[in-house]
Structure 1
Amino acid sequence: MQDSLEQDRRWYILGPGAIGCLWASLLTQAGAEVVLIGKSGASVMINLHYRPDVSLQKGTGRSLAPGEYRMLRSSADALGSNKKQISQMLIATKAQDANSALGAVVEHLSPNATVISLCNGIGFHESLARKLMARHPQRRFFVAVSSEAAMLEAPLSVLHTGRGITRVGQYAGKTENIGIHQHTDKLLNLLHLPAQLGIHCEYDADINRAVLQKAFINCVINPLTALLRCRNGELLSNAGHNARFAALCSELQPLYDAMYNQQQPAPAKQAIQHDKKPFDLKQSASKVAQVTAANQSSMLKDRLAGRQLELEALNIYIEKAARDLEMPCPLNSALIQKLLHEPPCVKRI
């Protein structure tokens, strides 16, 4: 019985970036045992037993500083035995890494595992679902879209820079009878998350819409800040940057509308009355840029560090959709080309 209780409290998190570390910290504070799984070099998996201390920092951010870390001797130590089979896992990698990261651990998932994706972007969830359900269709796969903001101050040291809402919807697997107005406590219980998590969660039966909306917001903020080498708030405060921001929003708004109308409805959509308020890309992206004004976008950080940019699941994906819909988006296409072919110029910001 003791082993079973401990297993129920253990969460595995793929991806020790800002969001992965934020959830690791919050889960640990709520009493869960957390194992962070990252990569070192091309393919070596690292498993960290994460026990963060919590300290308060002046200003709006809450500093979640790392405390004790214990390097597990090998992946097999963390994942190899039946007693440590993964029953609950969060995927918090970059979109381009999600499939390979899941592939490295999928054999260690229990037949009834619950998996939640926190990855940004579109176009890759179906392949994750197929990989998860290939041998065990009873597994449950949820997609989460969060407006919680976080940034790494140092490796494995995260600053919680903004509060938000995390919308969760079931993508595949064993279906649950859940209403869209499911309140946070019941939803956390359904997801096997501790009630003391400290994040406001809402169930969204049309999670594809939430995924698409966040992706389009990221398609505006991330590439512009990466190209202009500016913080998010400068897209609003700098007149020249703001003009480019407004123009890109205007170009992409009709594409969002067309892509959403083309989507298949979520399974529960017909039985649930949705808020019919249309999505305003400029208004929504402006709100995000304002709330995260002091932040550097992840794409800007990746560009300055010479890392691969998260374009495939964002701007490149919607460019392909635009071609299929015969809706040219020249500003988006030009952004992609500049980011792919112009070397980054390091600038203090």
Structure 2
Amino acid sequence: MNIHILGAGSLGLLYAAKLAAAGNDITLWCRGAQQAERIGTEGISLDNTAGERTLVQPDRIKAYPLSAFSARGGAEGADVLFLMLKQQGIEDMAKQVLLPFGHAKRRLICFQNGTGHMELLNRYLPAWELYAAITTEGAKRTGPASVLHAGHGTTTIGRLPQAEGSSGQEQEDEAEIELVKQLNRAGFESFLSKEMEEMIYRKLLMNAVINPLTALWRVRNGELLASPQRVAIMRALYDEGMAVYKAGNIPCGSHLWEQIEQVCRSTSDNTSSMLKDVLEGRTTEAAWINGSIVRMGRRYRVATPHHELILQLIEGMTI
């Protein structure tokens, strides 16, 4: 498949490297020209936790800066685009890079945490077919052209009801099936789902409980369960989120608290993305994670004081 990946952070590098190694035609769009030049010269170095290294040669991946997106035809000929930027870059990307091509029908897979980005993209790109993606793959960028595959997970893709076009498509089409096939060939355990809304809200609350606390306490995921005081604050954030979901009749399935505890255990050595952002002085996604819970609470008249405080504390750490 001809796949264009917008964003060359940890996940962008991981998916680009493995999909290219599996024989797909990959174009990687980078924020900076230097990174694009480096990948174009060296390829991508892919390491795993067993200490093994795979070098994806530069002739297997085309890399360009995002500033050249329009000049190079806006991903003309792409079967699918992966949007792998963080939430804070989505609106600028939509307005400055993608909007000139909004009239053309394209298929865009969105890998963002939090909520609100699908609706935003649908406003700017009404002709595009938008899909949400949830992945639990672990990746750590170790350089401009190198990435560590830190842990295997799953990738689930599907359309949200509000993102479906006028055709009202409900059946999986050949392109969707082929995409999942290629992802599995590349080593990503992948699925199509018609339950994306539930999965998105489950992941939202999991992130809202785990990520900000790891960032505030500067601890890895597993250390959240190390004391009853920490667990009590986790539970307060969880209970507030569940109260919002109940008031808004938002689907999130069952046994979510147990899954949050299990995620902390199974990813005990992981450094959350929000902690990485704080340590490196970058803006976090708290406004789209805990902030989403706060905004929904206001909409459904449910108080969310713990999420509001957490949001203020996190945002106060980045000046």
Q: Tell me if both proteins adopt one fold, taking TM over 0.5 as the criterion.
A: yes
Cross-structure match for 2:23: 31
Cross-structure match for 2:108: 115
- Residue type at the aligned position of 2:25: E
2:154 to 157, 162, 165: 165
Cross-structure match for 2:296: 321
Q: Does 1:126 align with 2:119?
A: yes
Cα RMSD over matched residues?
3.4
- Residue type at the aligned position of 1:25: A
Change (3 A) 1:177 1:248: closer
> Partners of 1:83 and 1:100 in 2: how far apart?
18
> Partners of 2:66 and 2:93 in 1: how far apart?
16
Cross-structure match for 2:129: 140
2:282 to 292, 307, 310: 307
Give 5+ residue unaligned stretches, structure 1. Answer: 1-8, 264-276, 345-349
- Residue type at the aligned position of 2:205: F
Cross-structure match for 1:290: 265
Deviation at 1:279, TM superposition (A): 2.7
TM-score, normalised via structure 2 length: 0.83
Cross-structure match for 2:12: 20
Cross-structure match for 1:96: 88
Mapping of residues 124-273 of structure 1, within 5 Å:
124-133=117-126, 137=127, 139-170=128-159, 171-173=163-165, 175-178=168-171, 187-189=176-178, 193=182, 196-259=185-248, 261-262=249-250
Structure having the larger proportion of residues in helix: 2
Give 5+ residue unaligned stretches, structure 2. Answer: none
* Aligned partner of residue 16 in structure 1, secondary structure: coil
Q: Deviations over 1:53-94 (max 9, x none)?
A: 5455428xx766665487658854885248945442100110
- Residue type at the aligned position of 2:315: L
Q: Deviations over 1:75-120 (max 9, x none)?
A: 5488524894544210011012122223333235782321100111
1:169/1:207 contact within 8 Å kept: yes
- Residue type at the aligned position of 2:216: L
* Aligned partner of residue 233 in structure 1, secondary structure: helix
TM-score, normalised via structure 1 length: 0.76
Change (3 A) 1:235 1:27: same
Deviation at 1:297, TM superposition (A): 0.9
1:14/1:36 contact within 8 Å kept: yes
2:219/2:271 contact within 8 Å kept: yes
Q: Does 1:52 align with 2:52?
A: no
Fraction of identical pairs, as percent: 27
Change (3 A) 1:140 1:175: farther
Change (3 A) 1:36 1:328: same
